[in-house]
Amino acid sequence: SPFPLFVLSIRHQNVTRLCHKKSMVTVNGKFPGPRIVAREGDRLVITVVNHVQNNISIHWHGIRQLQSGWADGPAYVTQCPIQTGQRYVYNYTIKGQRGTLFWHAHISWLRSTLYGPLIILPKKNVQYPFAKPHKEVPIIFGEWFNGDTEAIIAQALQTGGGPNVSDAYTINGLPGPLIIVRLKVKPGKTYLLRFINAALNDELFFSIANHTLTVVEADAVYVKPFETDTILIAPGQTTNVLLKTKPYFPNATFLMLARPYATGLGTFDNSTVAGIVEYETTIITQSSNSSLKNLPLFKPVLPQLNDTSFATNFSNKLHSLANSQFPANVPQKVDKHFFFTVGVGTNPCNTNQTCQGPNGTMFAASVNNVSYTMPTTALLQAHYFGQSNGVYTPDFPTTPLNPFNYTGTPPNNTMVGNGTKVVVLPFNTSVELVLQDTSILGVESHPLHLHGFNFFVVGQGFGNYDSNKDPQNFNLVDPVERNTVGVPSGGWVAIRFLADNPGAWFMHCHLEVHTSWGLKMAWIVLDGKLPNQKVLPPPADLPKC
């Protein structure tokens, strides 16, 4: 066939981890789900068949979906979910992108078990901007819950409290400690490790003992290579690194560890997950785990749990290549400025029981004090057919309605508003968006993810953003280009993008608990004049609501 065909069959499967067996929703019976490998320029035709009772939708996280917005996947944004017994074909072409991305369910908390790598190789005969690696290895982080994650989030939303945290982190689906990932390497070679953070609620530090990592790509965009002992990766982010193995025969095993970076409310899984790097030349490699115990085991040292200065330094090291082959098309002029506060607040208790959120309220999270309410039909449908009435309103505020001292003493009023509000942008608007963390209920880093675009991270800082001073320090030359950025804990980040992709595009915190509490909104980009600047008609099999 001229293009890769995939069938993702959504069905229940018994999976055992941490001695807990549970029947969970899987793709093709696998956890994590299958790896999808394609090349830049390929058209992907992926049929998703729903054999479970849950409503399903799948998102191809980081794929720009140029003129294929109907295939983006977030439920009630670009499509209604695929109902039990139904199927939907995600049909899109990968234009101008190559690198590591991932796919995941985009409805409720189903992405806790429905996710897998989406690897886009360069076009045939096109090289990486670094020496060809000996081998490529995807490493996908996740979170394992002994309980059913749909029940966990449903209960939290009902009672207004915080949901249970996960019982373990996983590397390629394995939480340890009995079965862990064993990365077998040869000495004196270079490996391309493709890291994906598919965890629900935690940013992670990762390090390999006695080895240096060279970061070469973030969110499927090449970066200027830099060396580090540890990487920081937020949910929704992907990072490619080169691992150069030692040239000699090291009769040893090297631990690799991941553990969260967390500030704020403190409702996170405080555990560590391990894997090992094992040199194939070590004689005992072929033998049992027990003889491994006789080898010296080197352990990496990870930053402290709340090491925000590490986070800042790490993100400051990321720069796009910005060369003739891979230019950084940073918008130099801005048509529209936006200033969005992101944070956690509360809603009044509206259940009959006592709510378990702060002071008897319910947790709610917001952007510019608007906690997003999911509509019952998809935004893109409503927009395309001119039926926005009763679905969404185009009045999302460009700045907070009540400005306050964002990172100082929190205001007494923690209540947020509710609504399905969007920003409507003319085609090709050049956007600057400042995302400001607030301290309403604790300062916290929020990994904000934008669908349909990559953006450039032109600035970041601590405290309150100063619109007079801070833009003077913006990097408009080689800022990193990505799809998910951590809003610094107690600070702000400024991004720019060109709204050259007509359609309805979700933006939300990739900490799933915050998304569930309402930290999400959408952009609607209007059609341009030319035929290739318009939303195309929906496919005939687009799911009905």
Positions in the binding site for ligand C2O (CB under 6 A): 59, 61, 74, 104, 106, 236, 449, 451, 506, 508, 510
Smallest gap from Cβ 283 to ligand C2O, in A, equals 43
Provide long-range contacts, Cβ within 8 A and 24+ apart, for 177-181. Answer: 177/274, 180/273, 180/274, 180/275, 180/276, 181/139, 181/256, 181/275, 181/276
Smallest gap from Cβ 449 to ligand C2O, in A, equals 5
Looking at the Cβ atoms of 149 and 282, the one nearer to ligand C2O is: 149
Smallest gap from Cβ 106 to ligand C2O, in A, equals 6
Dist CA 302 CA 485 (whole Å):
21
Tally of CA atoms within 13 A in the half-sphere of 495 that contains its CB: 26
Looking at the Cβ atoms of 421 and 510, the one nearer to ligand C2O is: 510
Smallest gap from Cβ 514 to ligand C2O, in A, equals 12
Smallest gap from Cβ 102 to ligand C2O, in A, equals 8
Using the structure block, give the residue that is written with the tokens 């069959």.
Answer: 9
189: number of Cβ within 10 Å: 14
Dist CA 105 CA 512 (whole Å):
12
Smallest gap from Cβ 97 to ligand C2O, in A, equals 15
Dist CA 490 CA 188 (whole Å):
43
Looking at the Cβ atoms of 496 and 508, the one nearer to ligand C2O is: 508
Nearest Cα to 72, choosing from 538, 537, 505? Answer: 505
248: number of Cβ within 10 Å: 10
Looking at the Cβ atoms of 58 and 276, the one nearer to ligand C2O is: 58
Looking at the Cβ atoms of 243 and 513, the one nearer to ligand C2O is: 513
| Peptide bond connecting 32 to the previous residue in cis, omega within 30 degrees of 0 | yes
Task: Specify whether the CB–CB gap between 256 and 206 falls below 8 A.
Answer: yes
Looking at the Cβ atoms of 117 and 357, the one nearer to ligand C2O is: 117
Shortest-Cβ-distance residue relative to ligand C2O: 61
Dist CA 37 CA 367 (whole Å):
35
Task: Specify whether the CB–CB gap between 264 and 442 falls below 8 A.
Answer: yes
Looking at the Cβ atoms of 338 and 506, the one nearer to ligand C2O is: 506
Smallest gap from Cβ 17 to ligand C2O, in A, equals 23
Smallest gap from Cβ 83 to ligand C2O, in A, equals 20
Looking at the Cβ atoms of 104 and 482, the one nearer to ligand C2O is: 104
Cα torsion at 505, 511, 517, 520 (round to 10°)?
-20
